[in-house]
Structure 1
Amino acid sequence: MVGAGHAGLAASHFLSARSIDHVVLERGEVANSWRTERWDSLRLLTPNWLSRLPGHAYDGPDPDGYMTAGEVADFVEGFAKVAAAPVRTGTQVTSVAAGPGGYRVRTSGGEILCRAVVIASGACNRPAVPALAAALPPAIEQRTPFDYRGPEQLPDGGVLVVGASATGVQLAAELRRSGRPVTLAVGEHTRLPRTYRGRDVLWWMDAAGVWDQRHDEIDDLDRARRLPSPQLVGSAERATLDLNALTALGVQLVGRWAAVRDGRALFSGGLRNVFALADLKQERLLDTFDAWAVGAGIDGEVERPEPTRVPDKARLQLDLNGGEIRTVVWATGFRPEYGWLDVPVLDAKGRLRHDGGVVPGAPGLYALGLPVLRRRKSTFIHGIEDDAREVVEHLVTSLGG
């Protein structure tokens, strides 16, 4: 097992239940990314009552709250102890290659020969920064969510946040509340209200079965796996953080960052169409919730969110040399890191080829914790149990029972 986050530990739980000898290799500590690669104010997008792993669920005093990064790390570490997972911390995997009877795994602590490998190293190992970052003037400070901790780190002056998924909207709001002028570059995004019909929107996702849709039931699976995380934030107020809320805070919205030319950032037009698409997708999802509520006999007042307000005149360019923008924060997504994987199982874009976590052409090689791996909920903490159970079942069968 490569990775001791919630995915690797869930797989370990099911392997132990089947009496399969295994080891979980972790480059840092258990739940390492939650400890070292999150900004200070981050909270989980899912409410605490939804946080569960096999035989281990949240039992604290605030079921409707949202865990901090440190609390998530403690929750995952608690599961590792309950599951008695055989974790080797501080063990960096440097190579996984074909070996006698299976795979040869080279690590900072020595070599391991094994019949199967489960890649559970996560989907967010490194930030996805576009190539145009190299064209920015040297005076512009650049940050990613991996090296951002809080507003006090940044120089005074304006900030351009690039990307309007959950990370982008959260950082834009935090930076604006710190008193800085903030511009947000918006591309395709998914919009959700924090609450709907009196319940957390993720209650509806769970209850209506949206999250349980399987990968082999989705028409455009590749697109589904590339969708950005929805515009949500976990807060005590259970507040909606969408583009309307950011506009009310004073955040300036511009289109997708298309190019840098002569020291100027150029943004695409068409924000109206981008907003309309996000609104349409939200309406369709809420329609699904309403239909399910009728079938389940659930009453309640229905209040649809206000459509996204289009700026009167969105700017199409910014002068990066004029001092208006001092910092660019790249909230443009994340990618897995497979530099240690010496097996020909990556596609032309460096993505792992797999069918529901089973890697074709590489018997005994599996994956967990990737977007829509087997279900729409695959990357969420509560979503790993079903995936891990089924992947381990395939693994055990492949080993001969």
Structure 2
Amino acid sequence: MLTTDTVVIGAGHAGLAVSRLLTDAGRDHVVIDRGRVAERWRTERWDSLHLLTPNWMTRLPGWHYPGPDSEAYMAVADLVAHLERYAASFAAPVRTGTTVLAVTACAGGYRVTTDQGTWATRHVVVATGPWGRPRVPAGIDLEGSGLVLTTASRYRNPGALPDGGVLVVGASSSGVQIADELSRAGRRVVLAAGRHTRMPRRYRGLDVFWWLERTGRLARTIDEVRDPAAARNEPSLQLVGRNEPDRSAEDLDLAALAGRGVRVTGRLRAVSGGVASFEDSLPAAVAESDARMHRFLDAVDAHVDAAGLGPEVWEPLRPRPFAVHRVPTRLDLRAEGIGTVLLATGYRPDHPWLRVPVTGHDGVIRQHRGVTPAPGLYVVGQRFQHRRDSGFIDGARHDAESVVTHLASGRPLDPTPR
């Protein structure tokens, strides 16, 4: 049996952030991953994907974007190379091609059983990210319909899908980006939109993430929100990262998609016998999303006035309203030429190998600032783990620091997980 002080599970950005801090602290550890460094970015993302955050936000402990265009958006292949260089910069002790089979408690710590051997360790850090199994809504029955069901994690490009139109389910960042790409490729697209978060790519001359950071939104903690569960399930921003010369034309929302011919409906209720039914919910979802967007932009305007940041060129131009009309509640998908149903509905937590009682009824690991109820067991990289930016690459550095500080200090457990 192998021994080490800490086993970090996952060699993505969160696991590498933890590894860098453990290395700096002189702590013996190993990082294990079922694939390679940044495996999910390599195999579960579509070809044209770029980060939603600008390059200046690709910050990790002891590491930042070194290139010439801090306002551009990193392509997936470039991000993989970026993380590989990061791992090499401090000789991260990564064991690739190592699948975790079980994590169990034992005397003095934990036993981590893998297909490449077993580690005895005092500490375990779960850094597999917020992704797990794709979320499949109830009521989807494609048997005998001839329709193909796929998910955003399996989508690569329009040419890899069967011929015909596509029903995209979900209007968060993945859904709107995939719907946009399919539409630009000449596919007929229907987008089923439920609750969503609309946001302009740039406002008053600056990327919206500049304003989110400047106004303190990204640093807001889970302890400051009224409903932690709702906050952790907020839809991702309707944004796209494109590196075109005219970045002012990069808004990607329902209005932009409808203008390109995408047919927008309400939330999907069911698919049966090739017929899709939708809730009559689109007007309310659009109104709620626009209201939240304008509240944030009002806060930005107030911040500009209070801080004296407003040069005349920073005009407060806002996205135009999306006029909702003629929204179908029922579509015969085959008659509409739809051949594929593509789910962009998020993910459910999936830790079948975690044999320690730290997950809630929803499968989410219970924690506070990364500290779980099980002594010596930690988690990093969850959505809104502690700060609003915890789920972004940039936010992992804060959670990693909290976890490694606690791990190295041997302090009592933090307050009850939220």
Same fold, judged at TM 0.5 (above): yes
1:188-220 Cα offsets, whole Å, 9 max, x none, are: 000000000001111111122110011211111
When residues 263 and 278 of structure 1 are mapped into structure 2, their CA distance, relative to the original with a 3 A threshold, is same
SS of the equivalent of 2:294 reads helix
Offset, 1:165? 0.2
Please give the alpha-carbon distance, in whole angstroms, between the structure 2 residues aligned to 1:344 and 1:374.
21
1:45-93 Cα offsets, whole Å, 9 max, x none, are: 0111221111111111322111111111111111111122111111111
Offset, 1:134? 3.6
Structure 1 segment 52-71 matched on structure 2, within 5 A: 52-71=59-78
Structure 1 range deviating more: 342-351 or 167-176:
342-351
Could you tell me which of 268, 275, 283 is aligned with 1:264? 275
What residue is the counterpart of 1:150 in the other structure?
157
Please give the alpha-carbon distance, in whole angstroms, between the structure 2 residues aligned to 1:262 and 1:145.
23
What residue is the counterpart of 1:332 in the other structure?
345
Q: TM-score, normalised by structure 2?
A: 0.92
**Matched-pair contact (CA < 8 Å) for 1:128–1:332:** yes
User: Letter of the aligned partner of 1:343 in structure 2?
Assistant: V
Check if 1:24 corresponds to 2:31: yes
User: Letter of the aligned partner of 1:344 in structure 2?
Assistant: P
**Matched-pair contact (CA < 8 Å) for 1:137–1:320:** no
User: Letter of the aligned partner of 2:260 in structure 1?
Assistant: L
What residue is the counterpart of 1:382 in the other structure?
394
Check if 1:318 corresponds to 2:331: yes
Please give the alpha-carbon distance, in whole angstroms, between the structure 1 residues aligned to 2:272 and 2:37.
44
User: Letter of the aligned partner of 2:109 in structure 1?
Assistant: G
- Residues matched between the structures, number: 398
What residue is the counterpart of 2:416 in the other structure?
none
SS of the equivalent of 1:294 reads helix
**Matched-pair contact (CA < 8 Å) for 1:137–1:321:** no
What residue is the counterpart of 1:277 in the other structure?
288
Gaps of 5+ in 1: none
Could you tell me which of 243, 246, 250 is aligned with 2:257? 246
Offset, 1:323? 5.8
Please give the alpha-carbon distance, in whole angstroms, between the structure 1 residues aligned to 2:37 and 2:291.
40
Structure 1 range deviating more: 5-14 or 58-67:
58-67
Please give the alpha-carbon distance, in whole angstroms, between the structure 1 residues aligned to 2:99 and 2:28.
20
What residue is the counterpart of 1:368 in the other structure?
380
Q: TM-score, normalised by structure 1?
A: 0.96
Check if 1:226 corresponds to 2:230: no
What residue is the counterpart of 2:403 in the other structure?
391
1:132-191 Cα offsets, whole Å, 9 max, x none, are: 234454410111122111101122211100000000000001111111110000000000
1:102-153 Cα offsets, whole Å, 9 max, x none, are: 1110011111111110000111233112232344544101111221111011
Gaps of 5+ in 2: 1-7, 413-418
1:203-251 Cα offsets, whole Å, 9 max, x none, are: 1111221100112111111101011111000012430000010011000
**Matched-pair contact (CA < 8 Å) for 2:138–2:270:** no
Structure 1 segment 1-400 matched on structure 2, within 5 A: 1-237=8-244, 238=247, 239-299=250-310, 300-310=314-324, 312-322=325-335, 324-360=337-373, 362-398=374-410
When residues 331 and 35 of structure 1 are mapped into structure 2, their CA distance, relative to the original with a 3 A threshold, is same
SS of the equivalent of 1:7 reads helix
SS of the equivalent of 1:286 reads helix
Please give the alpha-carbon distance, in whole angstroms, between the structure 1 residues aligned to 2:144 and 2:201.
38
SS of the equivalent of 2:187 reads coil
Please give the alpha-carbon distance, in whole angstroms, between the structure 2 residues aligned to 1:262 and 1:214.
45
Please give the alpha-carbon distance, in whole angstroms, between the structure 2 residues aligned to 1:193 and 1:181.
25
User: Letter of the aligned partner of 1:246 in structure 2?
Assistant: L
Offset, 1:399? 7.1
1:13-57 Cα offsets, whole Å, 9 max, x none, are: 111222211111111111111111110010100111221111111
**Matched-pair contact (CA < 8 Å) for 1:10–1:385:** yes
User: Letter of the aligned partner of 2:261 in structure 1?
Assistant: G
Please give the alpha-carbon distance, in whole angstroms, between the structure 1 residues aligned to 2:78 and 2:89.
16
